[in-house]
Structure 1
Amino acid sequence: MATVPGVRFLPNAITVLALCSGLSSVAFALRGPPQWFPAIVAIGIAAILDSLDGPAARLLNSTSRIGAELDSLSDLVSFGVAPAMVLYVWKFKNEHSIGYEWVICLLFVVCMALRLARFNSVLEDSTPKPYAKEFFTGIPAPAGGLLALVPLLLFIRLDDGFWTEQWVVSAWVVLIASLAVSRLPSLALKSMRVPQRLIVPLLVLLVVVVALEFYEPQLVLAIGLGLYLLHLPYASWKFQYLKRHPELWMDERSARISRSSSRRIRLSVRMPRRRRVAGRAPDGTPLPPARRRGAINQVRGRVQERRRLR
C-alpha cells in the first residue's frame, strides 16, 4: 500500500498529542485554585487519542518499532504519572513530610509500568492464543488512569463524603493498581463484534449518553467507569468459557484458513493467457495459407503504423 511520506508521521503525532494532553492535567492540578475537572478531561482526551494512533498506523501502513515504544512511554506518563500526581496534589500532599501517601502514588506508577511492559511482551508473542484475542490481561492503562480518579470525580460532583477519606482513596488506588497488573481478563472493546440487530439501539444509547454528558459530565463519567469495573466478572467468565470450548473459536479459525486456502487454489489454477502468433489461431493450430498470409500482412501493417506514429 503506497502512502505519502508525510502521512506516515500522523500516528506518531497523535501519540505525542496524547502525551501532551495527559501531562497537561498536572498543570491544571497545580494551578491556584486547582482546576480538577479540566485535569480529568485532559486525561480523558489522552485516552481518546491513544485509541486512535494504533488504527491510524495500521490504516496508513506506517507501523514501526519506534511508534510502539513511543506509545508505551506516552501511556506511562498520561495514565500512570499524571493521575498519580493529580491525586497527590488533591489528597496526599503533606507540606511537613513525605509519608505513606507518596508510596501509594509510587506504587500506582510502578504497577502501570509493569502492566505496559507485559503488554509489549505479549505483542511479540508469535503464537498467541486464538481465544484470547478479545481480551486484555488486566485492565488497560487508559481505563486504570481514569478509574483511579473516580474519588476525585465524586468530590467534584457531590463534595465531601466517605469517598474523600484519605484511607478510602488510598485503598481505591491500590485496588486499581492491583487490577492493572493482575491476570484478570478484561474485554478489549476494539475487538468486540456487535450483532447487527443491536447496532441501532447502541447508537441511540450512545446519543443519549453524549447528551447527558453535557448536563452531568462528572456523574455520567463516574457511572460509566463503575460499569466498566463491573464487567470484569463477566469478562473472566467468558474467557474461561472460551478456553474450555475450543470448538467455538476453532471453527472460525479453520473457516478463515479454508477461505485463504481456496483463494490460493483459485489463483493457482488460473490458465495463463495465450499469446497471439501471426499465422496461427488462438489455440495454436496453423491457419490455412490464405488466412495465414492475410494475418501476417495485418500484423506488418500494424507494425508499420506504429513506426510511422513514432
Structure 2
Amino acid sequence: MAPGGPTVRLLPNAITVLAMCAGLSAVYFATTGRWGAAIASIGMAAVFDGLDGRIARLLDATSKMGAELDSLADAISFGVAPALVIYVWKFQPYREGWVVALIFAVCMVLRLARFNTLLDVEQPPYAKEFFVGVPAPAGGLLLLLPLIVDEQVGDTGWWSNRWVVAVWTVGVALLLVSRVPTLSVKTIKVPPRAVAPLLVLVGLLAAAVITFPLVALIAAMLLYLAHVPYSIRRYRWLARHPEAWSVPAADRRAIKRAHGVAARRLGLRRPLGGRVAGAAMRAVRRPRRGVDPTQVAAETNGQPGAGKRRGWRQIGLRRHHRP
C-alpha cells in the first residue's frame, strides 16, 4: 500500500475517534460517580490527541477531513466533556454552575477556531515554537485539577469549594482564549547526547504515572503552570532577536551570552542610588538647551561648570538689599 493510501488514512482518523469516545466516556463515568475513571478518560483522550497528528504526518496521511475531525474531537473531549464533569461534580443543580460550565466550553471552541485560523496566517519563524494561549488538552486537564486533588487527598478542602472551583474554571477559560504564549512540545529538539538520559527520564515518568497516577497528574499540571512565565520571557526575547530565529538551541545560548557580555562591557547597569543618579535623572527629565555634558557632570559633583558664574550664595556673600 502506497503512503497516503485509503488504509493508511484511516488509522489517524480512527485514533481521533477513539479520543472523542474517551472524552465522552468521562461524562458517563461522572454521572455514575466514578471520578477516577472520568479523570483517566480525559487523560487517555489527551494521549490519543497527541498521537493522531504525529502518525498522520509520519505516514503522509494528512487530509482536510482529518483536520476538521481533530478539531471536533478536541472540542468534545477537552471542552464539553471536562465542563460536564466539573458541573456534575460540584455545580449540580445550581444554575450559576451551568453558566460557568458553558463559559469554559465556549472558550474552548473559540480557542480551537482561532487555532485553525492562525494556520493560514503567515507568522514569524519563531512563532511555530509556541501556542497562542493554553492548548486544548492542557486546558481540559487543568480544569480537572481541583477534582484530581480532591481524589488524591480524599478530604474536602478549600480547593473543592464551589466558588473556588468556579473562579478556577473561569480562569482556565480565559487562559484558553488569551494571547499568552506557551511552549509547543512538537518543536523541542534534543541533542544526540541527551537522548539516552531523556529515555531514562521517560521510563521513570511512566513508572510514576502507573504507580501514582493522580500525583503525577498534579505535578504535571503544576509544572505546566510554572513554565508559563519562562515561555513569555522566551517569546519576547526571540521577538527582539531575529538573528536567533533559525539557529539551533546551542547557537541561541551563545547569542544570549554574547548579548550579556556586550551589555556588561557597555556598562548597561541599573542606575546607582544617591546623588549622582538623582542628578542625572533630573538632567534627563528637565533638559536645558545648550548645556554641555561636561557642565552637567561638574554641577553633579558640586563644582561650577565651565563658563558659568558662581552664584552669590556659593561664594558666601550676602545679597545687598537696595534701600
TM-score (ref. length: structure 1): 0.76
Aligned counterpart in structure 2 of residue 124 of structure 1, from 120, 123, 144: 120
Which residue type is aligned with residue 155 of structure 1? D
Within 2, Cα distance between the matches of 1:22 and 1:208? 27
Match of 1:158 in 2: 153
- Secondary structure in 2 matching 1:109: helix
CA distance 1:251–1:190, change in 2 (3 Å): closer
* RMSD over aligned Cα atoms: 1.4
Question: Per-residue displacement from partner, 1:224-283 (whole Å, max 9, x unpaired)?
Answer: 11101110000010011011000011557xxxxxxxxxxxxxxxxxxxxxxxxxxxxxxx
- Secondary structure in 2 matching 1:133: helix
Which residue type is aligned with residue 184 of structure 1? V
Aligned counterpart in structure 1 of residue 188 of structure 2, from 165, 178, 192: 192
CA distance 1:213–1:62, change in 2 (3 Å): closer
Match of 1:24 in 2: 25
Aligned-pair distance for 1:3? 4.1
Within 2, Cα distance between the matches of 1:215 and 1:109? 32
Question: Per-residue displacement from partner, 1:23-62 (whole Å, max 9, x unpaired)?
Answer: 110011111xx11011111111111111111122222222
Within 1, Cα distance between the matches of 2:159 and 2:246? 46
Match of 1:11 in 2: 12
Give the stretch that moved more between structures: 85-94 or 215-224: 215-224
CA distance 1:194–1:145, change in 2 (3 Å): same
Task: Work out the percentage of aligned pairs sharing the same amino acid.
Answer: 52
Aligned-pair distance for 1:194? 2.0
Aligned-pair distance for 1:81? 0.3
CA distance 1:251–1:218, change in 2 (3 Å): closer
> Is 1:227 the equivalent of 2:227?
no
Within 2, Cα distance between the matches of 1:248 and 1:214? 40
Within 1, Cα distance between the matches of 2:247 and 2:215? 43
Within 2, Cα distance between the matches of 1:51 and 1:250? 25
- Map 1:146-295; keep pairs closer than 5 Å: 146-159=141-154, 160-250=156-246
Give the stretch that moved more between structures: 18-27 or 195-204: 195-204
Match of 2:276 in 1: none
Within 2, Cα distance between the matches of 1:162 and 1:251? 47
Match of 2:131 in 1: 136
Within 1, Cα distance between the matches of 2:246 and 2:212? 45
Match of 1:257 in 2: none
Match of 1:303 in 2: none
For structure 2, the residue ranges without an aligned partner over 5 or more in a row are 249-323
Aligned-pair distance for 1:11? 1.1
Within 2, Cα distance between the matches of 1:108 and 1:2? 39
Match of 2:50 in 1: 51
Within 1, Cα distance between the matches of 2:101 and 2:3? 46
Question: Per-residue displacement from partner, 1:146-194 (whole Å, max 9, x unpaired)?
Answer: 0100000011011211111111111111111111110000000011112
The total of aligned residue pairs comes to: 246
Which residue type is aligned with residue 21 of structure 1? A
TM-score (ref. length: structure 2): 0.73
Give the stretch that moved more between structures: 199-208 or 57-66: 199-208
Which residue type is aligned with residue 26 of structure 1? V
- Secondary structure in 2 matching 1:63: coil
Aligned-pair distance for 1:206? 2.1
Which residue type is aligned with residue 100 of structure 1? E
